[in-house]
Amino acid sequence: MLRIYSSKNWKFLFHRVSGLILLIYFLLHVLSISTALLFGQEVFDSVMNAFKSNAFHLVEAIVVICVIGHGLNGLHIIASERGWFKNRQGSQ
């Protein structure tokens, strides 16, 4: 059965998923930067060369979208919790 979600539900879902994507990206970022210390310069160079691929450019675009969306939604949550939207009609 198809269930229609409100915009609040979609924002909540996007915030959770984008946060998870950013966490995974952060962990992989730390791991990839530390390959020089863990495995040597050759492995580090091959990892850095892999980041020049078109597939990774797509990953970068997704991460940028997640950062912007997660940040803006976080600011919206802060503003809502502070009561800055109380005077808007239709907001509860």
In a domain, 14, yes or no: no
Residue-wise pLDDT tens digits, 12-60? 899 999 999 999 999 999 999 998 889 999 999 999 998 999 999 999 9
Reference 62, options 7, 17, 31; nearest CA is 17
Is residue 52 in a domain? yes
pTM of structure = 0.77
Asked if the structure places residue 63 within a domain, the reply is yes
Which one is predicted more confidently, 80 or 21? 21
Domain assignment present for 60: yes
**Which pLDDT belongs to residue 4?**
73
* Per-residue confidence band for 89, with pLDDT thresholds at 50, 70 and 90: low
Domain with 54 in it: 26-81
Residue 7 lies in a domain: no
Does 87 have pLDDT greater than 80?
no
Q: Is residue 66 part of a domain?
A: yes
Residue 86 lies in a domain: no
| Structure token digits, residue 9 | 């539900």
**Structural domain tally of the chain?**
1
Tokens of 88: 């808007």
